[in-house]
Amino acid sequence: MTTTLIQRTIGPRVPATEIERHGLRYGLPNLMLGVARVLLLVSLFLPYWRMTLEAPQYPDGLHVTAYVNHLEGDVAEIDGLNHYIGMRPLGEAAQFERAASVWIIIAMVLLVEGAAFVHNRWAAVLALPAILFVPFFLLDLAYWLRTFGQNLDPAAPLSSAVKPFTPPVLGVGTVGQFRTIASAGEGLYVAGAAAAVVVLALYFHRRAYKPLVERMGAAAS
């Protein structure tokens, strides 16, 4: 009874003879999920987002590069300009997200690894965070950009010169005499590739294990 309960939770185990006959069918989903795990880990070390601020006094522009857990580039200079229009320092945005991001990605890697071990529909549930991570990142970034742009300090020196605004997450925006250019970083593309690989792996996972699940259900009834 315990074995039956475990199999209902994690799905049927594949007999050794079945693996010998159809090794590629059962091995391909695991291989693809392994590739997705590697891609997620690699994304930790790559920038997820870039923004360039073009201003008259900075002919080469000011640049900020956002990794999942820290910011690099001309952050101090941009904070200085933002101070005059009443925008809070960039470092105050998404503090919880940056502090937890590495652990969140590691957790997603472990969940995807669990999806490779589970042979039923729960595999898709375990892999879902990895699939949704890139949209969540962009939505969270959009939230903070809007929050900072729409809540300017009215006591700032140039508060009357700039109306509340929402910088674009991706693309070109204009704030007074400034121009912002935002683009996705390599890390975001790699995480997106990981999500695509997971979706494809789940397709092959279902094709491989659904017959076994149905067979197990028929035997139980």
Q: What is the CATH number of the domain that holds 112?
A: 1.20.140
Task: Specify the 3-state DSSP secondary structure of 51.
Answer: strand
Residues shown for the chain: 221
CA-to-CA distance for 205 and 25, rounded, in angstroms? 8
Q: Is 199 exposed, middle or buried (0-12, 13-18, 19+ CB in 10 A)?
A: middle
> What does the pLDDT profile of the chain (221 residues) look like in tens digits?
444 555 666 766 666 677 677 767 888 999 999 999 999 999 999 999 999 999 888 889 999 999 999 999 999 999 998 998 899 999 999 999 999 999 999 999 999 999 988 888 889 999 999 999 999 999 999 999 999 999 999 999 887 888 899 999 999 998 878 899 999 999 999 999 999 999 999 999 998 888 776 676 665 55
Q: Is residue 107 part of a domain?
A: yes
**pTM confidence score:** 0.90
Number of domains in the chain: 1
Backbone phi, then psi, for 81, in 5-degree steps?
-65, -40
CB 200 within 8 A of CB 29: no
Q: Where are the beta strands (DSSP E) in the chain?
A: 49-55, 58-66, 71-73, 171-175, 178-184
Backbone phi, then psi, for 65, in 5-degree steps?
-120, 125
- Residues of the domain holding 115: 23-211
**Residue that the structure tokens 């006094």 belong to:** 57
pLDDT at position 1 is 44
Q: Is residue 3 part of a domain?
A: no
Q: Is residue 13 part of a domain?
A: no
Dihedral Cα 39, 42, 43, 46, nearest 10 deg: -150
pLDDT at position 214 is 66
The two structure tokens encoding residue 171: 């693309």
Using alpha carbons, list the distances in angstroms from residue 112 to 22, 39, 189: 23, 12, 18
Give the strands of the sheet with 49-55, arranged side by side.
71-73, 58-66, 49-55, 178-184, 171-175
SS (H, E, C) 116-167: HHCCCCHHHHHHHHHHHHHHHHHHHHHHHHHHHHHCCCCCCCCHHHCCCCCC
Q: Is residue 75 part of a domain?
A: yes
